[in-house]
Amino acid sequence: MLAWLGRKVGGALVVLWLVATAIFIGVRLIPGDPAEAIMGGPGSQASAEALAAARSEYGLDLPLITQYLMFLAKLIRLDFGTSYALKDPVLQVIAEVLPPTITLALISLAAAWLLSLIFAMLAMRATRAGQCVGNAVEIIAAAVPHFWLGAVLIMLFSSMLGWFPAVDNGTGAGLVLPVLTLALPLAGFLTQLMRDSLSTALGSQFALAARTRGESRLTVFWRHGLRHAALPALGLTGWAFSSLLSGAVVVEAIFARPGLGRSLLSAVLSRDIPMVTGIALFSALVYIVVMALTEAIERLIDPAGAES
């Protein structure tokens, strides 16, 4: 267990370093002068002297390799720098916007799991025609883009029916539509996966053996089917979480929610390099943590499978 943890932490550090390097290169490929961004964007019409001063202040006039090493050295000290646009420390900004996004992503993940479990259970009992319809619904759900789904949900449930607010009013009802927007496509994916492994498990010899022991169909589903259905879906959850984070960029913009995604969007638009770097690194970290967590749960469910 300790060796496993050690391997995970070591691997995580390597991944973070690679991500940091990729971000360092990536943000410098964005066209435009970062000094202009520091001075308030291209519209600010800063003088040449002011731009030069900003460049030397932020070390932008140094050779690239020196900039890279300085960047790494700061990262090791957990110094993400100061946002160009907000003039606040990046860590402080992230600490403010992270909780709402993580809440949104976690609730969406739980909702997606719940929805796909219900779908998969219904599909078990459905007729052939019903299964075809269900399959089509899943594929469509998995394929719709977030921005379209979000707009349709707002139109339907907010503008026309007036059931849920489009913008959060602090009661929690404002979470319903953003969560649905994120959870429905994911539920489509998960259901496809679960249905497949569920029907394999329920058609297997060990399910028959369980029936010969006197277990009812429902007991077999809970005791055996669910475990086997959860395993592949769990393996997907790391990916699912990262897709939720990137979906949050769109959803937070549509529903005007504060959060990591929205901050990332505005940081990219205003070429706020420290902010983009910080958020990207944080997302990578969240992803790594979620992956390790799902792996730990997988080991709990299937210790023999995890060893091989």
Partner 1 sequence: MSPLLEVENLSVGFAGQLAVDSVSFELSAGECLALVGESGSGKSVTARSLLGLSGGKVSAEKFSVLGQDATAMSERAWQQMRGNSVAMILQDALMALDPLRPVGREIADALKEHSSLSKPERTAKVREALEAVDLPEPAWRMKQRSSQLSGGMRQRVLIAQAMIGDPQVVIADEATTALDSRLTALVLEQLRALKNAGRAVLMISHDLAQVAQLADRIAVMRAGKIVEAGDTDQVLNRPQHEYTRTLLRAIPSGVPRFQPLSLAPPKAAVVAQEPAKPARMPALVVEDLSKSFGKHAAVQGAGFVVQQGQTLGLVGESGSGKTTTARLVLGLERPDTGSVRLFGEHFAPQREAQRRYLRENIGAIYQNPLGSFDPRYNVGQLLTDALSAGRSKRGASYRTQVSRLLEQVELDPALGSRNPRELSGGQRQRLAIARALAPRPKVLVLDEPVSALDVSIQATVLDLLDRLQQETGTSYLFISHDLSVIEHMSDTVAVMYRGSIVEQGATADVFGDPQHEYTRSLLTAMPRLR
Residue 306 binding partner 1, by CB under 8 A = no
Q: Could you give the string, one character per residue 224-253, with x where binding to partner 1 holds by CB under 8 A and - elsewhere?
A: x--xx--x----------------------
Residue 215 binding partner 1, by CB under 8 A = yes
Q: How far is the CB of 116 from partner 1 (least distance, A)?
A: 19
Half-sphere exposure of 120 (CA within 13 A, CB side): 30
Q: Which stretch binds partner 1 (CB under 8 A): 15-23, 122-130, 141-149, 203-211?
A: 203-211
Q: Tell me which of 33, 79, 96, 302 binds partner 1, using CB under 8 A.
A: 302
Q: How far is the CB of 112 from partner 1 (least distance, A)?
A: 22
The amino acid sitting at 57 is E
Q: Tell me which of 18, 209, 256, 306 binds partner 1, using CB under 8 A.
A: 209
Q: Which residues of 32-52 are buried (b: 16+ CB within 10 A; e: fewer)?
A: eebbbbbbebeeeebeeeebe
Number of residues that bind partner 1 (CB under 8 A): 23
Q: Hunting for tokens 């990219």 — which residue is that?
A: 268
d(CA 176, CA 141): 17
Residue 304 binding partner 1, by CB under 8 A = yes
Query: Which residues, 6+ apart, have CB-to-CB distance to 192 below 8 Å?
Result: 135, 138, 139, 142
77 or 213: CB nearest partner 1: 213
Q: Which stretch binds partner 1 (CB under 8 A): 50-58, 149-157, 162-170, 205-213?
A: 205-213
Residue 222 binding partner 1, by CB under 8 A = no
Q: Tell me which of 219, 242, 243, 266 binds partner 1, using CB under 8 A.
A: 219
Q: How far is the CB of 290 from partner 1 (least distance, A)?
A: 22
158 or 197: CB nearest partner 1: 197
Q: Tell me which of 4, 17, 148, 206 binds partner 1, using CB under 8 A.
A: 206
Residue 125 binding partner 1, by CB under 8 A = no
12 or 296: CB nearest partner 1: 296
Work out the number of other CB atoms within 10 angstroms of the CB of residue 79: 14
The residues that touch partner 1, with contacts defined as CB under 8 A, are: 204-206, 208-216, 219, 223-224, 227-228, 231, 301-305
